[in-house]
Structure 1
């Protein structure tokens, strides 16, 4: 792979999207990309997090994961996002970070980034696909190239696979109902592969 730099960026309260991101990280590395894992900066008040044992535990367990910066976005050729749904839209933390990318956008630094996204919710048809498509709307403004999985591999027809991006349902105990590891890895590999095509075409 022609030196493809893949950023896997997630936001997670309970760990689901962190797990998806780790699978994407593994898939990108299997494809031969240089992969870095980042989390979206947390903006929720500390007292709110402290009042939710599961959320607090996840924040503490992922303290080692670096927060995404604008420099990291500029570094990446390809990006895989993994985020939960919030009323069919992206979480406020994600939107707040995206709103800081105006400078990069203005200078054309986000053009031709190859992007793909994944999502989760606590019930079937709980907004996962709408969240992915909502994120893609911002990517169109970036001038990014969307590398949705489509039906490019039989794994997409399985549980959790869909043409927009892998999505999962989480039960009340925080456990993923669908087995999506293979779908996530395929999506990450496809994203890195498309980025390689783009890089070769630009040079």
Structure 2
């Protein structure tokens, strides 16, 4: 019998590519038997900036009903999948701001001994896929988390070409999330659920 696990998928997305990956992961994790919370982080950009970009504004309206992430979502989770678009080879300020609110629960040890993994989307082909994911990993290490990379453990990850996490090249927002990216997202989510379940069955000794 599969042991139930809780998976929180926390992301920031401006124009929708990261959100589509997050949704694919949420569906895959649920199919793998996990209880899933799909959460976005708060938008920090001024409304005028959002409204000036029709794609950004449309995505904000389309995802208005998705709950904002809270510290409770991470405490509840056995595993956390976290996603961000690449900003100058790093994570977006919106996700970083959320991470910066976690000091209190981190000090209590409530973020430790969980499975963590990251995903991203980037406007240029070599524009920071790996460095964004590795930046996320730095935070996961500070949490005392157990980082589960998808690696080259499946043919779909060879096709995706990124062992650090799922990544999508959107060519400046012009290329939609394709079947290669969706398949890689499913592989990663299923792998995260597998290891989170293993830890839940045999928890880390205090």
Alignment TM class, shorter chain as reference:
over 0.9
Question: Within 5 Å, which residues of 2 pair with 1:83-162?
Answer: 83-158=84-159, 160-162=160-162
CA distance in 1, matches of 2:202, 2:152: 24
Q: Which runs of 5+ in 2 are unaligned?
A: none
What is the number of equivalent residue pairs in this alignment? 202
**1:119 aligns to what SS in structure 2?**
strand
RMSD value over aligned CA atoms?
Answer: 1.3
Contact 1:16 1:176 in 2 (8 A): yes
CA distance in 1, matches of 2:166, 2:39: 19
Deviation larger for 171-180 or 51-60: 171-180
TM-score normalised to structure 2 length = 0.94
Contact 1:161 1:180 in 2 (8 A): no
TM-score normalised to structure 1 length = 0.95
**2:27 aligns to what SS in structure 1?**
helix
**1:13 aligns to what SS in structure 2?**
coil
Q: Which residue of 2 aligns with 1:23?
A: 24
CA distance in 2, matches of 1:194, 1:9: 18
Deviation larger for 161-170 or 96-105: 161-170
- The superposition leaves residues 42-66 of structure 1 with CA deviations (integer Å, 9 ceiling, x where unpaired) of 1111121122211111100100100
CA distance in 2, matches of 1:52, 1:103: 36
Q: Does 1:49 align with 2:73?
A: no
Query: 1:122: Cα distance to partner?
Result: 1.1
Q: Which runs of 5+ in 1 are unaligned?
A: none
CA distance in 2, matches of 1:174, 1:187: 24
